[in-house]
């Protein structure tokens, strides 16, 4: 079959307009498929970083909107294998103009000292760490956020609360780098507590927990949940990675949504490619008869036609993967504002290989029936075929 590759390639581009249109449609479809697979991989199959593997989050079992008593922190600390615990409150609030998407970034109230112990991969100068601990109105921001919004050390910023009925007047005392905390701002929980009404000071959103080693994480989660199982505020303890995905679940069953679109895309590609190959084969029935008179076997003709479709599919697949690499870079940059998991969104070699395999498979499957019918047509019927 491979000795006829050059013939199959020439046939695939003989009708340039049709070939370009078919390759373009396959490329666009494969681009969409590649982007969806990359998003699925980033959200659900991404390997936890060393820091994430040691951290878990304790929240209310019912919902993130339900708070937990501050007294839980001391009880969680006493669990064997727990190295550090910190309050971790999502503040939300409004920075400048809420209508501008670039002003949306994560804003958390934490307890500085244990928090910086928990963030094992956080890199920040010691003097800035010390300032965050000692300056109650101080805050620290991620390097990418500082570059995006032009934040500088010593700059004062105002965030108006919405979930919490307070206005924060913060001073940037540190700029950090942490692969697990991009586009983020952290400030002192005690500062927020003093601004809140007395009735809301002792209720927290979640608790961040650092385990001594990865083997302890599962045991700690079960032990903490069992500790508060019969309390008015039952808990759900999960890894930091699972906790991040809980925000994605607000949008619905994302896994089913992504896989459904992938299935629809593949089916569409199959129809487009199948229609193209059926038209191409019908136009060349007489040529098939001529090839048979020259000694080409049915198997050779079948291989040439399938090879033609596979070539078109692979060219479209390669173009689609290149397009998907560009699109995922743009989507990842925009999407990391809302989901940190999309920070490193890209077409990995595995995703690229899947896309090319799909393109090849679509080419073979879509052309098999037209190729099989053409190959088994006898010489006489082929030569007198009128089209």
For every residue of 101-125, DSSP letters joined together read GGG--EEEEE-HHHHHHH-TT-B--
Say what the pLDDT of residue 272 is: 79
For the chain, what is the radius of gyration of the CA atoms? 29
Walking along the chain (387 residues) 10 residues at a time, the average pLDDT comes out as 60 73 87 87 76 89 88 94 92 84 87 93 94 95 92 95 90 93 92 87 90 91 94 91 71 75 84 78 74 78 81 89 88 62 75 91 85 77 63
Domain boundaries, the chain: 2-47+252-383, 67-232
**Pairing mode, strands 184-188 and 106-110:** parallel
How many angstroms separate the CA atoms of 277 and 308, rounded?
9
Task: Say if residues 23 and 315 touch (Cβ distance below 8 Å).
Answer: yes
Tokens coding 85: 């615990």
Beta strands 68-69 and 94-95, pairing class = unpaired
* Residue 211, strand partner residues: 82
Counting every residue, how long is the chain? 387
Alpha-carbon torsion, ordered 171, 174, 175, 178, to 10 deg: -120
Residue 195 Cα distances to 69, 87, 200, 206, angstroms: 18, 16, 10, 19
How do 235-239 and 55-60 pair as beta strands? antiparallel
Helices (H) and strands (E) in the chain, counts: 15, 12
Give the pLDDT of residue 19. Answer: 79
Q: What is the pLDDT of residue 143?
A: 94
Specify whether the CB–CB gap between 143 and 175 falls below 8 A.
yes
Q: What is the DSSP letter of 161?
A: -
């Amino acid at each position: 079959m491979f000795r006829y590759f050059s013939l199959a390639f020439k046939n695939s581009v003989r009708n340039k307009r049709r070939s370009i249109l078919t390759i373009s449609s396959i490329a666009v479809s494969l681009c969409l498929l590649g982007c969806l697979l990359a998003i699925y991989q980033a959200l659900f199959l991404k390997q936890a970083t060393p820091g994430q593997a040691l951290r878990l989050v304790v929240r209310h079992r019912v919902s993130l909107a339900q708070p937990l008593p501050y007294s839980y922190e001391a009880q969680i600390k006493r669990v064997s294998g727990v190295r550090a615990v910190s309050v971790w409150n999502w503040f939300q609030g409004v920075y400048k103009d809420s209508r501008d998407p670039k002003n949306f970034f994560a804003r958390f109230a934490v307890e500085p000292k244990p928090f910086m112990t928990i963030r094992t991969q956080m890199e920040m100068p010691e003097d800035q760490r010390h300032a965050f601990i000692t300056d109650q109105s101080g805050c620290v921001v991620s390097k990418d956020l500082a570059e995006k919004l032009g934040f500088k050390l010593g700059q004062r910023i105002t965030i108006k609360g919405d979930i919490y009925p307070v206005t924060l007047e913060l001073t940037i005392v540190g700029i950090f780098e942490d692969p697990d905390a991009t586009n983020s701002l952290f400030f002192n929980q005690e500062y927020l507590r003093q601004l809140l009404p007395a009735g809301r000071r002792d209720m927290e959103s979640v608790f961040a927990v650092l385990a001594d080693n990865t083997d302890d994480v599962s045991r700690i989660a079960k032990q903490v949940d069992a500790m508060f199982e019969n309390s008015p505020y039952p808990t759900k303890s999960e890894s930091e990675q699972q906790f991040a995905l809980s925000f994605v679940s607000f949008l619905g069953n994302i896994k089913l949504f992504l896989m459904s679109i992938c299935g629809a895309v593949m089916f569409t590609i199959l129809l487009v490619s199948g229609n193209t190959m059926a038209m191409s084969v019908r136009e060349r029935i007489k040529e098939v008869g001529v090839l048979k008179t020259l000694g080409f076997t049915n198997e050779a003709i079948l291989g040439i036609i399938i090879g033609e479709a596979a070539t078109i599919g692979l060219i479209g697949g390669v173009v689609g993967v290149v397009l998907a690499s560009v699109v995922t870079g743009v989507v990842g940059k925009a999407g990391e504002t809302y989901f940190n998991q999309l920070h490193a969104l890209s077409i990995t070699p595995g995703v690229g290989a899947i896309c090319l395999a799909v393109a090849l498979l679509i080419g073979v499957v879509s052309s098999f029936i037209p190729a099989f019918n053409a190959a088994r047509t006898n010489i006489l019927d082929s030569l007198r075929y009128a089209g």
